[in-house]
Amino acid sequence: MKAISKSVPKRDHAAKISGSAVYVGDHPTDDLLFGRMLRSTKARARVLGVKLPVLPEGYFFIDKNDVPGDNEVHIILDDNPVFVEEIAEHIGDVIGVLAGTDEREVNILLKQIEVDYEELEPVFDPRKSDVAFFDFGYEKGDAEKAFAEADKIYEEDFETGLQEHMYLETNGIIAEFKDGKMYVRGSLQCPYFVHRAVMKATGLSSENVSVTQDVIGGAFGGKEDFPSILGCQVAVAAYKTKKPVRVVFDRHEDIEGTSKRHPSFCNYKAAVKDGQVTALEIDVLYDAGAYATMSMVVLQRGIIGCGGVYNVPNLKVRGQARKTNTVPNGAFRGFGGPQVFFAIEMLMTHIAKDLQMDSVDFKLKHVAKHNDLTSTSGRFHFPVPIPAMVKDITEASGYYSKKEAYKNQSGRFRRGIGLAAVYHGAGFTGNGERDLIKAVVQLRKDRDDNVEILTAITEMGQGVNTAFIKIVAQELGLPPERVILVPPDTARVPDSGPTVASRSVMTVGELLRRAAIRLKAEWRDGEEQLIEEHYKHPEYMIPFEMPAFRGDAYPTYSWAVNAVEVEIDTYTGFIDILGAWGSFDAGTPIDENIVIGQMEGGFLQSIGYAMMEKMTADKGYIRNNNFSDYIIPTAVDVPNMQVKLHVEDFPLGPYGAKGAGELPHVGGAPAVAEAIQNALGVNLHKIPFLAEDVMDVLRRKGGI
Amino acid sequence: MANEIRFKLNGSEIVYTGNPSMRLVEYLRGEKQLTGTKIGCKQGECGACSVIMDSELVNSCLVAMGRVNGAEVTTIEGYSKTEKFAALDKAFESVSAVQCGFCIPGMVLASESLLASNPHPTEEEIREGISGNLCRCTGYNSIVKAIEIAAEEGSGLW
Ligand code: FES
Ligand code: FES
């Protein structure tokens, strides 16, 4: 381990553990208005009228007629209105906000509002939807020829479900309009996303909008695109009422009304010749929900990763994100990756089984190598450590002997083990950093020679503040106490881009390192100094062409190998996790504890995704709207999780660091799924896979 | 007065005359600005609102003020002044077990409640002991480890 990797106390530790950290719901509420959303109860309907009760003084209703700027939330296509313009597109679509001084009274009044609807025909199944928000495709090699020459062709369908972020702190925003300026604060990952959205919705100029991050109680992507929507709604309410307005969701409203992981339907065809997969033809379909929000980028990542970690010379890929009348799906750790990595990993195990090979050996035969072409005909410019990591994990988990022992089991309890190999493309897709984000960071030194870090990156618990401070302190040779870092406020910090895409340490951290090197060179004791650094695109990258999807999709890749062992009770269907092993390569950890903590947390979410977390939208209404109906793992569910770090330095990341945050949420699910199929002796095609699904399989097999 | 509710909060005597059906968590956060007690669900499912009431860990979102009469309530603000907290604090810090922090005050009080009844718990007992407190960030390993360390280093405190 490098010196920088040695763990230090986290900067945010003391305030959080003592309960003094201020989250959005913790601000005093004396002088503000409580807002509650008036939401559509119909999945698709024209809103003909809204009949309000008599509102007492100090109570306001805010809707589309009050939006001073454009009634559009700026995300990508800007199709999500701030408030329903004419047609409500999903249950929960926000028609207006009722705001007033007493929270209870607001709730009572809200129930008295009558909405007159003209119901329209909704669509709930993306396979039946004829609106594709996005439709992409690309090819590599000559898939047609490979299929024509194949010994055998496999075709399978895969499905994954909704996944809810279930951050412990719900979404919340406070906005205040004062002296011509809009101040927005809250639980948000990307201050500048909200900043730009609020500018558009209010028509205010950049200097007149300031967005500040409060301490965030978990996000995982759930506070990436969504706060732009909520931010606009609350800002418009503050604009109209001229009072600070606060909206903090309760758990039901948060689950029913905010973004989730896209459900997927994938069709995979594989051509196999001489025991080798020579071509894949893949059709990816993501359920976008009612508005396009982040679906474009989620889908892009999905179709880029759909071939997994394998070198398949011929590919034909199509991907669509289609509209349904359900709550819009958005960013979630892994960002389009978990769905397709589940599919490809399952497919590989099914083909291996048919060829009577062990699935791990079969996968290893296909793993891409350093300098091989990627799916999009870019290059793996750096070593691919999967074989070494597979070796580590098969040894740690006892994979081969267990796999052997779990053949032909009988009796009530059946065990199984599975292993998945995955990657996560580190940082923004394609040329995004260069063309769209253009990240900027600053270091400001004061007269006392303390140095403040100024970036737009937000601490959500992932440890980025501690990592940034370590990087800057190390380069300047300063004790960490002399490095200041406060939550970003767009009025003070430059736009270093959003806190997403596992880019913060790798990309923004490297800018800070370079800034610190310059500051050190130009250091003048007792003087104020300001150093600014701008993003530089890696020269080795093969430019990414769109819409051809050709070139380097990512500057580098983070890698993971995960194994999971299960025991299934064939009487009840209950799936018990006996062990979970993970090797993760996120480059040099800037702080070992922090990176391990990220891996453990993400790995557990991924296991939950596979076998616990089930959410269904029943005619567009989400009934699993609390912690008893949507089960996330507790401390007893995965008692034996072992995580280790494998380090392949990335020369362009600070000290060799690359993307970490999302990596652990990719491989856990396929490892669980393979373990279940190993235990039951069947092929699996969907997650989540719960006790009832086990019982279903057993019934269909006539009991095993 | 008949509708007076008297209890001890973090060591201070409190006389409450408000609505007895108000939830303790609302009182703590709203009237006392003791916002270290968090709300994750208000349905008794997540443990973010955990406080200690007469040496028992309770979800304060399920406790009506009427039930608090005569009780002794400790929130994270009160607990953080104790020596036991210092041991847990150090242990949590040493393994970086605090991520977003939203579950953490509740987790710390759950740890206290566990160690008070079982000063040297096994890993399994620790996992069982905090299983009513959900954490979405950490995967629990670091929290379990922290409690093990606190039990060891703070031996004699509990
Ligand atoms: S807020 Fe009380 S248990 Fe969740
Ligand atoms: S640290 Fe975020 S929920 Fe536990």
C-alpha to C-alpha distance for B129 and B150, rounded to whole angstroms: 15
Confidence of residue A526 (pLDDT cuts 50, 70, 90): very high
* Best residue among B57, B61, B76, B133 to mutate for probing ligand 1, ranked by most atoms within 8 Å of CB: B61
Give Cβ neighbours of residue A33 (< 8 Å, ≥ 6 apart): A58, A60, A99, A100, A101, A237, A241, A243, A244, A245, A246
pLDDT at A704 over 70: no
Domain architecture of chain B: domains with CATH: 5-78 (3.10.20.30), 82-153 (1.10.150.120)
Res A703: pLDDT: 54
Confidence of residue A1 (pLDDT cuts 50, 70, 90): confident
Domain covering A264-429+550-700 assigned CATH 3.10.20.600 in the classification: no
Q: Does B42 touch chain A (CB under 8 A)?
A: yes
Res A701: pLDDT: 78
Cα dist from B100 to A184, A215, A348, B96, whole Å? 21, 8, 37, 11
Count of helices and strands (H, E) across chain B: 6, 5
Q: Is A579 in the pocket of ligand 2 (CB under 6 A)?
A: no
**How big is the CA angle at A14 (ends A506 and B143), to the nearest 5 degrees?**
75
- At what angle are helices A668-680 and A691-700 packed, to 10 degrees? 30
The nearest alpha carbon in chain B to A606 belongs to: B139
Measure CA A379 to chain center. Answer: 25
Q: Is B40 in the pocket of ligand 1 (CB under 6 A)?
A: yes
Give the gap in angstroms from C-alpha B51 to the nearest C-alpha of chain A: 12
Ligand 2 atom nearest to CA at A16: 1
CB of A166 closer than 8 Å to CB of A288: no
What's the CA-to-centroid distance between A498 and ligand 2, angstroms? 21
Chain B segment 73-132 residues within 8 A of A by beta carbon are 75-77, 80, 89, 92-105, 108, 123-124, 126-128, 130-132
CB of A363 closer than 8 Å to CB of A310: yes
Res B2: pLDDT: 61
Tokens of B22: 């108000």
Chain A residues near residue B76 by CB distance under 8 angstroms: 18-19
Across the interface, do A19 and B89 touch by the CB < 8 Å criterion?
A: no
What's the CA-to-centroid distance between A26 and ligand 2, angstroms? 17
C-alpha to C-alpha distance for A523 and A516, rounded to whole angstroms: 10
C-alpha to C-alpha distance for A34 and A29, rounded to whole angstroms: 8
Across the interface, do B99 and A597 touch by the CB < 8 Å criterion?
A: yes
Confidence of residue A136 (pLDDT cuts 50, 70, 90): very high
Chain A residues near residue B34 by CB distance under 8 angstroms: 19
Domain covering A432-534 assigned CATH 3.40.50.11540 in the classification: no
Domain covering A31-122+166-257 assigned CATH 3.50.50.60 in the classification: no
pLDDT at A267 over 80: yes
C-alpha to C-alpha distance for A41 and B71, rounded to whole angstroms: 43
Res B1: pLDDT: 52
Chain A segment 224-283 residues within 8 A of B by beta carbon are 250-251
CB of A206 closer than 8 Å to CB of A143: no
The nearest alpha carbon in chain B to A460 belongs to: B100
User: What is the three-class DSSP state of A695?
Assistant: helix
pLDDT at A671 over 60: yes
Across the interface, do A26 and B35 touch by the CB < 8 Å criterion?
A: yes
Q: Is B136 in the pocket of ligand 2 (CB under 6 A)?
A: yes
Domains A31-122+166-257 and A264-429+550-700 share a fold: yes
Alpha helix (H) residue ranges in A67-125: 103-112
The structure's pTM equals 0.98
Amino acid letter, A490: T
Ligand 1 atom nearest to CA at B44: 3
Across the interface, do B136 and A166 touch by the CB < 8 Å criterion?
A: yes
The nearest alpha carbon in chain A to B32 belongs to: A28
pLDDT at A702 over 90: no
C-alpha to C-alpha distance for B26 and B32, rounded to whole angstroms: 9
B interface test, pick of A18, A163, A246 with most B CB neighbours within 10 Å: A18
Confidence of residue A700 (pLDDT cuts 50, 70, 90): confident
DSSP letter at A372 equals -
Q: Is B42 in the pocket of ligand 1 (CB under 6 A)?
A: yes
Chain A residues near residue B50 by CB distance under 8 angstroms: none
Q: Does A9 touch chain B (CB under 8 A)?
A: yes
* Best residue among B39, B99, B111, B142 to mutate for probing ligand 2, ranked by most atoms within 8 Å of CB: B99
C-alpha to C-alpha distance for A404 and A415, rounded to whole angstroms: 11
Across the interface, do A168 and B136 touch by the CB < 8 Å criterion?
A: yes
Report yes or no for ipTM above 0.90: yes
Give the gap in angstroms from C-alpha A583 to the nearest C-alpha of chain B: 15
Confidence of residue A371 (pLDDT cuts 50, 70, 90): very high
Nearest CB to B92; choose among A17, A22, A643: A17
C-alpha to C-alpha distance for A613 and A617, rounded to whole angstroms: 13
C-alpha to C-alpha distance for A304 and A287, rounded to whole angstroms: 17
Q: Is A218 in the pocket of ligand 2 (CB under 6 A)?
A: yes
Nearest CB to A16; choose among B37, B104, B136: B104
Give the pLDDT confidence of A18-33 residue by residue, as tens digits: 999 999 999 999 999 9
C-alpha to C-alpha distance for A218 and A462, rounded to whole angstroms: 9
A interface test, pick of B22, B141, B147 with most A CB neighbours within 10 Å: B141
Across the interface, do A632 and B134 touch by the CB < 8 Å criterion?
A: yes
Backbone angles phi, psi at B94, to 5 degrees: -65, -25
Q: Is B61 in the pocket of ligand 1 (CB under 6 A)?
A: yes
Give the pLDDT confidence of B54-102 residue by residue, as tens digits: 999 999 999 999 999 999 999 999 999 999 999 999 999 999 999 999 9
Cα dist from A144 to A176, A269, B104, whole Å? 59, 11, 55
What's the CA-to-centroid distance between A441 and ligand 2, angstroms? 28
Confidence of residue A250 (pLDDT cuts 50, 70, 90): very high
pLDDT at A589 over 80: yes
Give the pLDDT confidence of A55-65 residue by residue, as tens digits: 999 999 999 99
User: What is the three-class DSSP state of A297?
Assistant: helix
Ordered DSSP codes for B9-35: ETTEEEEE-S-TTSBHHHIIIIIS--T
The nearest alpha carbon in chain B to A214 belongs to: B100
Confidence of residue B3 (pLDDT cuts 50, 70, 90): confident
What's the CA-to-centroid distance between B46 and ligand 1, angstroms? 5
The nearest alpha carbon in chain A to B126 belongs to: A635
Calculate what percentage of chain A has a pLDDT beyond 70. Answer: 100
Across the interface, do B139 and A634 touch by the CB < 8 Å criterion?
A: no
Give the gap in angstroms from C-alpha B11 to the nearest C-alpha of chain A: 17
Q: Is B39 in the pocket of ligand 1 (CB under 6 A)?
A: yes
Pick the residue whose CA is nearest to atom 3 on ligand 2: B135
For residues B121-150, average pLDDT: 98
What's the CA-to-centroid distance between B59 and ligand 1, angstroms? 6
The nearest alpha carbon in chain B to A219 belongs to: B100
The nearest alpha carbon in chain A to B99 belongs to: A461
What residue ranges do the domains of chain A occupy?
A: 31-122+166-257, 264-429+550-700, 432-534
Q: Is B133 in the pocket of ligand 2 (CB under 6 A)?
A: no
Across the interface, do B100 and A460 touch by the CB < 8 Å criterion?
A: yes
